[in-house]
Chains A and B, each alone.
Chain A
Amino acid sequence: MKNRFNFGYFIREGFRSIFSHGLMSFAAVCMIVACLLIMGSFSLVAINAERMLSQAEDENEFLAIIDENYTDNQIRQLQEEIRQVPNVASVSFVTREEAKDTYLDDYEDVGLYADIPDEVFRDRFSIHVVDLNQFDQTVAAVRALSGVVNIRAAGELAEGFVTVRNVASAIATALVVILAAVSLFIIANTIRLATFARREEIAIMKMCGATNSFVRWPFVIEGLILGVTGALIAFFAQWGIYTAVYRAVVANGAIGMFPLVGFADIWPPVLGIFLLAGALIGACGSGFAIRKFLQV
């Protein structure tokens, strides 16, 4: 007799089982929704924190003051040398007049500086870095170049950004990993409870010569369906919650200098990750849950 794969049967059985054990199915979906919502909320907070820090990083720069005896040609050559320094993202030339204007803009309330002569200021390069982790090395490399007489850099500020970002990333990663493990455990136990009621059915199948995979497939499909259903519900709930928080933050004008990421910009990856996580948690949870009952 040809051994055919009963895919249609497994799907039918998976659906049948969801409805015939409605209460347990409902409990499993609720667990998946709760776990995904918690994980999703933490992840979105982490994404926003990361975005804010990146934005703050982008605005970070240091200044290289140019030897005042340098000619225009030498300045252009020096600019090219700085551009060649590893980790330098951009180099822009700032004349002493521009430097004075910026200075006066920063201190416009202080009339004392209004008549300050241009000669007090020097031509300089404004330099942005790629990776703040290598900020100090980059500053040192630029300082070593001939023609650079001084450096003005807020090294501590850069280090602060790096520390905050690293700590935030570590906390977010740890939380997501822990919550994923907890979710898997809770869902596996929920499905195990559902499976416990059907251990007799599994024993009968095994005694009739069913292989482990024949018994397992309907449960895995059931878990998959529950996981995907939970993921979709969690996604829409996350959308609603995030949008409400977003509106509240915007209305209060909080975090004005760092605008939040709009849900419209991130919904595709959020949906994808939710579906993947829900499907994996559901299918793996079911697979693990029935392992014990297959020992017949």
Chain B
Amino acid sequence: MIRLMDVFKEYDNGTKALRGMNLRIDDGEFVFLVGPSGSGKSTIIKLLTAEETATEGRVMVNGYNLNNIRSWQIPYMRRTLGVIFQDFRLIEKKTVRDNLEFVMRIIGASPREMKRRIPYVLDLVGLGDKADVYPNEISGGEQQRVAIARALINNPQMIIADEPTGNLDPQRSLEIMTLLERINSMGTTMLVVTHEKELVNRFSKRVVAIKDGELISDEQGGYYKYEKSV
């Protein structure tokens, strides 16, 4: 569950990234967040992951009020989220299995739980046979699948994907988005930030469009209305 209520964000250098943003995403939803570069998409993700705090307004994520969250609570809030990045952000010196294992260790999972859960999630993302390889030994699409598996491994309430297909070819992008849709159908809330017009239009989900830090449209089964800006 996400709530942004009259959120303003101004950075120290004076940039006004969000101007009175209101957004509500309920549990189980699949939402595309679209908008041109500099529209405030990344700022929204940073607010949701508690990397930044709002200048004004209220931000709620999975029951945590991020306006007055204590620093020791932030890790526990983040455990309710799975975050996927455009550049995968896998730890190169760890195998695929170890990349998932350390995330389970963070929440104090037992070796038995890890032994059971990791193969299950790797099978889910179609990488059941890649557990012992290193990230640089697999393709970009497979690396993003590992990142999705990592986001999924602790069974989070919500997955936030920041341009998850930005580094992939159209075929791999479609596969990744299909996988995210499948995960959503299993009950995980999905917020996908993307520039991929074709994908947004093809999947016909709720589309939230922002520009210059303001919400300009929010439609169920909507379409991408802006050209990709460079």
Complex Cα distance, B89 from A203, in Å, reads 9
Residues of B within 8 A of A206 (CB): 75, 78
Residues of A within 8 A of B76 (CB): 209
Whether A4 touches B110, Cβ cut-off 8 Å, given contacts A9-B105, A204-B91, is: yes
Residues of B within 8 A of A4 (CB): 108, 110
- Are B108 and A3 within 8 A (Cβ)? yes
Picked from B51, B72, B78, the residue with its CB within 8 Å of the CB of A209 is B78
- Are A208 and B103 within 8 A (Cβ)? yes
Whether A201 touches B91, Cβ cut-off 8 Å, given contacts A207-B78, A209-B78, is: yes
Residue among B72, B90, B105 with most chain A CB within 10 A: B105
- Are B75 and A1 within 8 A (Cβ)? no
- Are B108 and A208 within 8 A (Cβ)? no
A285 to chain B, nearest CB (A): 22
- Are A209 and B102 within 8 A (Cβ)? no
B47 to chain A, nearest CB (A): 14
Complex Cα distance, B80 from A208, in Å, reads 9
- Are A200 and B105 within 8 A (Cβ)? no
Residues of B within 8 A of A207 (CB): 49, 78, 83, 89
Complex Cα distance, B107 from A6, in Å, reads 10
Bitwise interface map of B from 92 to 110 toward A, beta carbon under 8 Å scored 1, else 0 = 0100000000110111111
Q: Which residue of B lies closest to A201 (CB)?
A: B91
B79 interfacial contact with A, CB 8 Å:
yes
- Are B89 and A210 within 8 A (Cβ)? no
Residues of B within 8 A of A292 (CB): none
Residues of B within 8 A of A296 (CB): 51
Complex Cα distance, B83 from A210, in Å, reads 13
A196 interfacial contact with B, CB 8 Å:
no
Complex Cα distance, B166 from A95, in Å, reads 104
- Are B106 and A208 within 8 A (Cβ)? yes
- Are B109 and A1 within 8 A (Cβ)? yes
A46 interfacial contact with B, CB 8 Å:
no
Whether A20 touches B93, Cβ cut-off 8 Å, given contacts A208-B150, A209-B106, is: yes
B11 to chain A, nearest CB (A): 16
A81 to chain B, nearest CB (A): 69
Bitwise interface map of A from 69 to 98 toward B, beta carbon under 8 Å scored 1, else 0 = 000000000000000000000000000000
- Are A1 and B107 within 8 A (Cβ)? yes
Residues of A within 8 A of B129 (CB): none
- Are B78 and A2 within 8 A (Cβ)? no
- Are A1 and B108 within 8 A (Cβ)? yes
Residues of B within 8 A of A204 (CB): 89-91
- Are B75 and A210 within 8 A (Cβ)? yes
B12 interfacial contact with A, CB 8 Å:
no
Picked from A5, A201, A211, the residue with its CB within 8 Å of the CB of B75 is A211
Residue among A5, A207, A209 with most chain B CB within 10 A: A209
B135 to chain A, nearest CB (A): 12
A239 interfacial contact with B, CB 8 Å:
no
Q: Which residue of B lies closest to A3 (CB)?
A: B108
Q: Which residue of A lies closest to B102 (CB)?
A: A205
- Are B75 and A2 within 8 A (Cβ)? no
B218 to chain A, nearest CB (A): 27
B169 interfacial contact with A, CB 8 Å:
no
Q: Which residue of A lies closest to B72 (CB)?
A: A211
Residues of B within 8 A of A208 (CB): 78-79, 83, 102-103, 106, 150
- Are A2 and B91 within 8 A (Cβ)? no
Q: Which residues of A contact B (CB under 8 A)?
A: 1-6, 9, 20, 200-201, 203-211, 214, 296
A-B contact pairs, 18 of them (CB 8 A): A1-B113, A2-B108, A4-B108, A4-B110, A6-B108, A9-B102, A200-B89, A201-B91, A204-B90, A204-B91, A206-B78, A207-B83, A208-B79, A208-B102, A208-B150, A209-B78, A211-B72, A214-B105
